[in-house]
Amino acid sequence: MAEAVELTESLEDYLEAIYRLLRDSGTVRVKEIAEMVGVKMPSVSSALAALKERGLVEHERYGQVTLTPAGRETAEFLCRRHYALIAFLRDILGIEPDQAETEAGQIEHALSPESLRRLLMLLDFIERCPRGGEQWLEQMLARWENPPCERDCAECIAHIEVPESNPFASRGGTENSTTLDRLSPGKRGKVLRLSGEPQIRRRLMDMGLTPGAEIEVERLAPLGDPIEIEVRGYHLSLRKREAAGIAVEPA
Interval 153-197: pLDDT, tens: 666 555 555 444 433 334 344 557 888 888 888 888 888 888 766
| pLDDT score recorded for residue 184 | 85
Label residue 87 exposed, middle or buried (CB < 10 Å: 0-12, 13-18, 19+).
Answer: buried
Query: Does the predicted model carry a pTM greater than 0.85?
Result: no
Q: What integer best gives the mean pLDDT of the chain?
A: 78
Is-contact 86 64, C-beta < 8 A?
Answer: no
What is the architecture of the domain spanning 178-250?
Answer: Roll (2.30)
| pLDDT score recorded for residue 159 | 53
Nearest to 6 by CA among 74, 82, 81, 107: 74
pLDDT level of residue 55 (50, 70, 90 thresholds): very high
Q: Which CATH class, in words, describes the domain spanning 9-73?
A: mainly alpha
Measured CA to CA, the distance from residue 85 to residue 103 in angstroms comes to: 9
| pLDDT score recorded for residue 204 | 78
Q: What is the mean pLDDT of the segment spanning 130-147?
A: 64
CA distances from 162 to 131, 135, 172, 241 (A): 6, 12, 17, 32
Sequence spans of domains, the chain: 9-73, 178-250
